[in-house]
Amino acid sequence: MNIKTALRILSITAVLAIAWGLRVRAADKLPIDFDEDDYLRAGQEYAHLIRTLNWSGFLETNYRTEHPPLAKIAYGIVFSFLPEQPLVEDVAITASPAKTLPKDLLWAGRKEAAGFGTLTAFLLALVNPLAGFLLATHSFTIKYTSQIMLDGLSSLLSLGTVLAYVQYKRKHRAVWLIVSSVFLGLAADSKYLHGTVGFAILVDQIFENRENLIERKFKALLPILGWGLLSLLVFFGANPYLWPDPIGRLQESFTSVTYTVTNPNVQSANFPLWQPLVWISMSPILWHENVFLFAPDFLIGLFAIAGFARLWKRERVFALWLGLSLITLLLWKTKWPQYILILTAPLSFAAAEGISKAWESLLESIRNRRSKRQFYNNKESLQAVPWLVPGLIAFALLTLLPFLFQVAISITDFNSASIRDGFQGGIWRELFGGLSGQIEPSNPDFPFRSNKVQYTGFSGYLPVFYFVTGQGIFVFNILWMVASTSLQVILGGGLSILLNQRGVRMKKFWQAFFILPWAIPEFIGALMWLNIFIPEIGWLSLASKKYGDAFPLQFLIGWERTPTFWFFIFLVPAVWYGFPLILLAVNAGLKTIPKDIYEAASIDGANSWQTLRHMTLPLLMPVLLPAIIIRSIYAFNQFYLFQAFFFTESTLATLSYNLFNPSSGFGGGQFAVSAIINILTVMILTGLVSLFNRHMQSREEFIHA
């Protein structure tokens, strides 16, 4: 046995131990959650049937019919070894979590879930130890595989489905395909949503047989057809509750699902469309103190984005699994956090690929740095001095100093109450004392109200970060940047291309007219839109009052109450204000493209779409890219628009301002917290800009190659 194999076995064993240890710890410490009483009761019912050998009872038993029975039966099997206890109370689905549950059952059930969860991490580690490790430590996955939920068994089965399928693709043995389809049927029997993994395999097969399909050789699809049929058979076979009346019972189950959609819990949660992304970006460490040792969830999500392309190349079916599950979750109306467990396995896999990619490019950049030193000579450096000095002094005073100052106060609790002490040198006293180790970092409660500045160390960063991700502000900010910039690029670019066709009439007039929004200060533009959208007195509300249901935009009334709606409403003024800059950039770019290449293209028989896609767009990129980056940064820091509408917790910039502002409502004058948010902003933007730049550069090389 060589060292590599030994290391692999060692790391897989380590993953097994870590996964089990973390889950048992969580099972011990987590409070009773929503639904745990339901599944525990369901398990008790099945345990009773098993004990009394009442097999026909399975045909009529399925407590909480909106979910299929398999995972509940699994709990029942374990419970049947324990002494029987009276059934836990049957409460309404809207009730808050049970106060107490039978201790031994709760413990046994949670351990069973933890066992399934550990096995899942172990299975993934067999393929990729790093991915297994990430899944083992992902705190959301730990939480829902350490409570009596349905997700432990079903994620194990869905991972099994894909792994068996991958084996089939490698070895071409039918037995693996059969295993895969059996697992798929069982996974759907544990929780319907986990059946999405089947679609990933289906789509993967279509990719696999692309050529056959083009040549109309449909025979190649026979194996996967059999796979699908078998999994359907298993789905019905392993779900005894369906046997008496398959269609009716399935319908009943799904109407219960729609019932949960309209249930008051879902409505009061008022989650935006993109809530699954918020779950992925945050960690339940916010909700439960001292349960999870650490929360790598955010980093896993981040590296998963970086590694997605690589995962696609390596194990396409995992990438498809991740993508299709995400789409399903975004479309699915109920958005409970446990649903993301349908994708945490491929997410961890993508993250593992992302980490190895980042590691490799780090090594490469170190190697390149050695070979590529910047050249400069002393004479030139000396000549630069007189130019740099005056500007540097001003820059240092006006920009650098504020920035360093931000870092400095972010490790104190500086606030409006301690402003006098801060002025009299309190900040430097604490900073010096803290950094030299003379002052112990203190950990005051938020909002900070101490009238003496205190050194806190970096202890403020993590809570602020958890708050920003947990409240969804981070995800909103990123989505906002992407959506707003892309819409601006589409509108601005489209208009420029329209205007630059040959012989468009009134071109000059339109061009001047379209630049108008840019000439209006952003804040004034926001006020103009405020006149329209503001509830009750805006044009929109007044029109709806006057015309009632005949008003076609009636559905927009009340937009301020649902996050999904206000996301789209704010996009309107943002695009209105932002597209002219892109229009100008594209106009300038189009002028640089020589006209004769178009003639060459039309002689070669390219249609206008092909010309646009393969010639105009790539040639535009160098000019368009700076404009896109500028607009993206601007959108990320968007402030005046939201402030004009008094939406004070929408972006990081508005949050930071309103935490700072001593006269704002919530705990104003929190200078230190505001500074932490600003530093987080700079960190995020630096990462985004360098990533974007890099990605675009590599694509350009690809185009030129």
Report the residue number, 154 or 674, with the smaller CB distance to another protein: 674
CB 641 to another protein: min, Å = 12
Report the residue number, 331 or 506, with the smaller CB distance to another protein: 506
Report the residue number, 97 or 622, with the smaller CB distance to another protein: 622
- Residue 705 CA to residue 703 CA, distance in Å, equals 6
* DSSP letter for each residue of 37-61: HHHHHHHHHHHHHHHTT-GGGGGT-
Do 23 and 142 meet the contact criterion of CB atoms below 8 Å apart? yes
Count of other CB atoms within 10 angstroms of residue 195: 23
Angle at the Cα of 61 (from 55 to 64), degrees rounded to 5? 155
Q: Report the DSSP beta bridge partners of residue 455.
A: 412
- Residue 326 CA to residue 319 CA, distance in Å, equals 11
Q: How many helices (H) and strands (E) does the chain have?
A: 33, 0
Report the residue number, 16 or 497, with the smaller CB distance to another protein: 497
CB 459 to another protein: min, Å = 19
CB 579 to another protein: min, Å = 9
CB 440 to another protein: min, Å = 25
Report the residue number, 329 or 582, with the smaller CB distance to another protein: 582
CB 668 to another protein: min, Å = 11
Largest CA distance in the chain: 95
CB 624 to another protein: min, Å = 9
Alpha helices in 372-400, H assignment, sequence order: 378-395
- Residue 167 CA to residue 162 CA, distance in Å, equals 9
CB 418 to another protein: min, Å = 12
Report the residue number, 54 or 383, with the smaller CB distance to another protein: 383
Do 442 and 436 meet the contact criterion of CB atoms below 8 Å apart? no
Report the residue number, 566 or 640, with the smaller CB distance to another protein: 640
Contacts of 335 (CB under 8 A, 6+ apart): 266, 269, 271, 275, 276, 279, 329
CB 649 to another protein: min, Å = 14
- Nearest 5°: phi and psi at 97? -55, 150
Report the residue number, 283 or 637, with the smaller CB distance to another protein: 637
Question: Which residue, 309, 304, 306, 320, is CA-closest to 169?
Answer: 320
Report the residue number, 503 or 605, with the smaller CB distance to another protein: 503
CB 520 to another protein: min, Å = 5
CB 643 to another protein: min, Å = 6
CB 600 to another protein: min, Å = 12
Contacts of 420 (CB under 8 A, 6+ apart): 451
Give the three-class secondary structure for 527. Answer: helix
Tokens 């409970």 correspond to: 336
* DSSP letter for each residue of 90-159: ---TTSPPPS---HHHHHHHHHHHHHHHHHHHHHHHHH-HHHHHHHHH-HHHHHHTSSS-SHHHHHHHHH
Contacts of 620 (CB under 8 A, 6+ apart): 493, 586, 589, 590, 593
CB 421 to another protein: min, Å = 12
With both helix axes pointing from N to C terminus, report the angle between 316-331 and 151-171 in degrees, rounded to the nearest 10.
Answer: 150
Q: Give the CA distances from residue 475 to residues 302, 322, 470, 554, 598, in Å, rounded to whole numbers and listed in that order.
A: 12, 18, 9, 29, 42
Report the residue number, 47 or 635, with the smaller CB distance to another protein: 635
- Dig out the tokens for 48 from the structure: 């009773």
Burial 554-581 (b: 16+ CB within 10 A, else e): eeebebeeebebbbebbbebbbbbbbbb
Do 198 and 188 meet the contact criterion of CB atoms below 8 Å apart? yes
Report the residue number, 127 or 588, with the smaller CB distance to another protein: 588
Report the residue number, 293 or 528, with the smaller CB distance to another protein: 528
Tokens 């949960």 correspond to: 260
Report the residue number, 31 or 622, with the smaller CB distance to another protein: 622
Cα R_g (the chain), whole angstroms: 30
Report the residue number, 389 or 703, with the smaller CB distance to another protein: 389
CB 401 to another protein: min, Å = 6
CB 339 to another protein: min, Å = 34
